[in-house]
Amino acid sequence: MKKIFSFLFASLFLGTLMLYLHWQAGFVTISWRDYQLETTFGILFLLLVISLFILKILAQILHFILNWRKYNQARHRKKIPEVILNVFMALERGLPKIALEKATFIQKHSSIAGLGEYFEAMALMALNDDEQAKTIFKIMTTFKGVEYLGWQGLARLSLKNDHQAQAQAYAEKALQYFPNSPWALKTIHEQAQMLGDYKKAEQALEQLKKIGYFEEELLREKKGALLAGWAKSLEGQQSHKEALSRARKAYRIHPGTEEGKILAELHVKLKHRWRAQFLIKRLWKLLPDEDLLQLYLQVTKPETPLKAYEEIQKLTAQNQDHEVSLVALAEAAHKAHLWGATEEYLHQLAKITKDPTKINILEKKLSGYHSLN
Q: What is the pLDDT of residues 303-352, one digit of tens each?
A: 898 998 889 898 888 788 888 888 888 888 888 888 888 888 888 888 88
Whether residue 80 is predicted with pLDDT greater than 70 in this model: the reply is yes
Residues 6+ apart with CB under 8 A from 285: 318, 319
Residues 6+ apart with CB under 8 A from 248: 263
For residues 77 and 306, the model is more confident at 306
Range of lowest pLDDT (269-273, 289-293, 368-372): 368-372
pLDDT of residue 371: 47
pLDDT of residue 40: 59
Whether residue 201 is predicted with pLDDT greater than 90 in this model: the reply is yes
pLDDT of residue 250: 92
pLDDT tier, 145 (very low <50, low <70, confident <90, very high otherwise): confident
Mean model confidence pLDDT for the chain? 81
For residues 268 and 31, the model is more confident at 268
pLDDT of residue 226: 92
Q: CB neighbours (10 Å) of residue 41?
A: 17
pLDDT tier, 232 (very low <50, low <70, confident <90, very high otherwise): confident
Percentage of the chain beyond pLDDT 90 is 21
pLDDT of residue 223: 92
pLDDT of residue 368: 56
Distance CA 148, CA 112 (A): 13
Residues 6+ apart with CB under 8 A from 126: 91, 94, 96, 99
pLDDT tier, 171 (very low <50, low <70, confident <90, very high otherwise): very high
User: Best-predicted range by mean pLDDT among 98-107, 134-143, 363-372?
Assistant: 134-143
If we measure between CA atoms, which residue out of 243, 317, 321, 237 comes closest to residue 280? 317
For residues 290 and 13, the model is more confident at 290
Range of lowest pLDDT (140-144, 170-174, 190-194): 140-144
**What stretches of the chain show up as alpha helix (H) in DSSP?**
2-24, 41-66, 68-92, 96-109, 115-126, 130-140, 147-160, 164-177, 182-194, 198-210, 216-236, 240-253, 257-269, 273-286, 290-300, 305-316, 323-335, 339-352, 357-372
Phi, psi of 29 (to 5 degrees): -110, 130
Whether residue 271 is predicted with pLDDT greater than 90 in this model: the reply is no
If we measure between CA atoms, which residue out of 237, 261, 235 comes closest to residue 250? 261
pLDDT of residue 367: 67
For residues 195 and 111, the model is more confident at 195
For residues 326 and 68, the model is more confident at 326
Answer whether 292's CB lies under 8 Å from 261's CB. Answer: yes
Q: What is the pLDDT of residues 2-33, one digit of tens each?
A: 666 565 556 666 566 555 555 555 555 555 55
Answer whether 96's CB lies under 8 Å from 127's CB. Answer: yes
User: Best-predicted range by mean pLDDT among 76-80, 231-235, 356-360?
Assistant: 231-235
pLDDT tier, 156 (very low <50, low <70, confident <90, very high otherwise): very high
| Complete DSSP assignment for 149-179 | HHHHHHHHHHHHTT-HHHHHHHHHHHHHHST
Whether residue 188 is predicted with pLDDT greater than 90 in this model: the reply is yes
Percentage of the chain beyond pLDDT 70 is 79
Q: Rounded mean pLDDT of 250-269?
A: 89
Range of lowest pLDDT (58-67, 97-106, 142-151, 336-345): 58-67
Whether residue 210 is predicted with pLDDT greater than 60 in this model: the reply is yes
Type of residue at 19: L
Q: Rounded mean pLDDT of 56-75?
A: 67
